[in-house]
Amino acid sequence: MAMEMWSNLGTLTATIFFLATMARKYLPRELYENFREPLRRIARFLSPYIILVIEENEGIRISDLYESVQIYLSTLSSSAAARLKLSKPQKATAFTFTMDKGQQIMDEFQGFNAWWTLRSRECKPPLFSRYNASDEKRHFELKFHKKNKARVFETYLPHVIAEAKILELKNRQRKIYTNKGGKSHSYEDRNRVWTPMVFEHPATFETLALDPEVKDDIMEDCRKFSQRESYYKKVGRAWKRGYLLYGPPGTGKSSMIAAISNFLEYDIYDLELTEVKSNTELRKLLIGTTNKSIIVIEDIDCSLDLSDRKKKAKKKSKEEQNPKKEENDNDDSRVTLSGVLNFTDGLWSCCGSEKIIIFTTNHVDRLDPALLRSGRMDKHIHLSFCTFSAFKVLARNYLGVENHPLFEKVEVLMKKAEITPADVTEELMRVSDDPTAALEKLIETLQRALETAAVKNEVSPENESVEDTLVAEGSPPVAVIGEGSSLN
């Protein structure tokens, strides 16, 4: 009896599909439109299968579930699909296979079958849109028998997500993202507000030219932040933290960011404020970031006018007496100080969790105090000129030496001279195969830095020479190497 019932049901379903095909082929379009939806409803009612649709986009973000399905199916594609898309990420050891549009993969799980299909549809742009190209909307379809509905939701889909996480961690490459400017005409560019690149910066805290005490303090702060999810939730605060890195150019602010990223294993979102046209777009970029990430705004004092409002008010009162139009390098951007403040500590800042926001600047005194307060920039890190302890790290990294007879002279000079770690690195790299020659060249550079500083301070070098400084410190005079001396 049951077999006969299913046989009759199959015949009825086939008849309905046949009638629908004939109606579409021979009936006038207007008449067919009246019958199409009722026929679809009948077919769905009679079909023993359920189809779930998983869209690629959730608003302006890529769906986490869509990406999980894509990762999971990559392990099945090479053996189950007839048409594949082949790729090989940079420095990856194996090829990656993904489904092509219209392909179907059958996955057998705990005694039942599930069918996955990648679909796409073209969506025409609005009549007055600035984009000429059509959008391509992609989605996965999951088809399974109705009797397996509970098992799919309770067991199968959690299995897909769990397996995707394992595969992602196994093959994960840290990435750096940028918000691109200009008009884009491709589907992916217009639907992804961030463009990723593989991030392989070698900087670590071990190689960072920084005083050990400061280095340990930053590492402990990062470690504590990453482990305090329950604490942030208990006190009612968004799980985020703000760092301000400030100091002269060449003191290692970018290397510090890379070291934090490698230490925490977080992705980096490098936000170029001059490319953001409005506060609304700024919020979209914030929403588009993932958890466990670092949002970086470098040289914030140069990106937008975020200077102290009190100072601007005084300046404006003087200019009212002698009005003069100032040039604005960011006429196309309407991002305001208020928008940046809300970005860092407003209602939208709680979208997502476990995020670090890092601002860098060479002139911290130019920034508005509201931007620097706790809750926005929780920790201020001053990266100053190179100290002797930082120099020893560079000497170990670039010259492979832990100690050297010339270290004493370098230490004495560094107490007086102002030189950045970048300048020290440049000198050490010139003759890295000869530590003595490299250190002598560095000493020469330090001497010139002292003499330059003496001139700026209107102190004659004859009154306080480099040799006098060394003798006063209890060290023998330094043998000055002439400009024409060979480094080889």
Written as one string, the DSSP assignment of 238-296 is: -SEEEEEEESSTTSSHHHHHHHHHHHHT-EEEE--GGG--SHHHHHHHHHTPPSSEEEE
Quote the pTM value: 0.70
Task: Report the distance separating Cα 129 and Cα 185, nearest Å.
Answer: 11
The matching CATH number, chosen from 2.102.10.10, 3.30.460.80, 3.40.50.300, 3.20.20.70, for 195-309+332-382 is 3.40.50.300
CA 460 vs. chain centroid, Å, equals: 50
Rounded to the nearest 10 degrees, the angle between the axes of helix 435-456 and helix 388-398 is 150
Give the span between the Cα atoms of 9 and 15, in whole angstroms.
10
pLDDT of residue 486: 36
pLDDT the model gives residue 62: 76
For residues 410 and 401, the answer to whether their CB atoms sit within 8 Å is: no
Report how far residue 249's alpha carbon sits from residue 387's, in angstroms, rounded to the nearest whole number.
Answer: 15
Q: How many Cβ atoms sit within 10 Å of the Cβ of residue 358?
A: 24
Residues 32 and 19 sit within 8 Å (Cβ to Cβ): no
For residue 329, give both structure tokens. 């390098």
Amino acid identity of 454? A
Q: CA 147, 148, 154, 158: dihedral to nearest 10 degrees?
A: -160
Q: Where are the domains of the chain?
A: 1-45, 48-122+136-172, 195-309+332-382, 401-472
Say if residues 470 and 463 touch (Cβ distance below 8 Å): no
Report the distance separating Cα 87 and Cα 102, nearest Å. 19
pLDDT at res. 301: 78
Residues 431, 488 contacting (CB under 8 angstroms): yes
Side chain identity, residue 321: Q
Distance, CA of 422 to CA of 440 (rounded, Å):
17
Let me know: does 348 contact 287? Beta carbons within 8 Å: yes
- Measured distance CA(93)–CA(90) in Å, rounded: 9
What is the gyration radius of the CA atoms in the chain, in angstroms? Answer: 32
DSSP character at residue 350: G
Among 50, 165, 158, CA closest to 113: 50
Per-residue pLDDT of the chain (488 residues; tens, 9 = 90+): 445 554 555 566 666 666 667 766 666 766 666 666 676 676 666 678 899 999 988 766 778 889 889 888 887 765 666 666 666 666 555 666 677 777 888 899 999 999 999 888 776 655 555 545 556 788 999 999 999 999 999 999 999 999 998 888 777 788 999 986 544 444 444 456 888 888 989 999 999 999 889 999 999 999 999 999 999 999 988 899 999 999 999 999 999 999 999 999 999 999 998 888 888 888 888 888 888 999 999 988 777 766 555 555 555 555 455 544 444 444 556 788 888 888 888 777 777 789 999 999 998 888 888 888 888 899 999 999 999 999 999 999 999 999 999 999 999 999 989 999 999 999 999 888 899 999 999 999 999 998 888 887 764 444 444 445 444 444 433 333 333 333 33
The pair of structure tokens assigned to 484 is 């024409």
Name which of 469, 390, 437 is nearest 209 in CA terms. Answer: 390
At residue 307, what is the residue type? S
CB 369 within 8 A of CB 308: yes
Q: Quick check: 282 and 343 in contact, CB under 8 A? A: yes
pLDDT at residue 481 in the model: 32
Q: How far is 66 from 160, CA to CA, in rounded Å?
A: 11
SS (H, E, C) 96-111: EEEECCCCEEEEEECC
d(CA 315, CA 294): 35
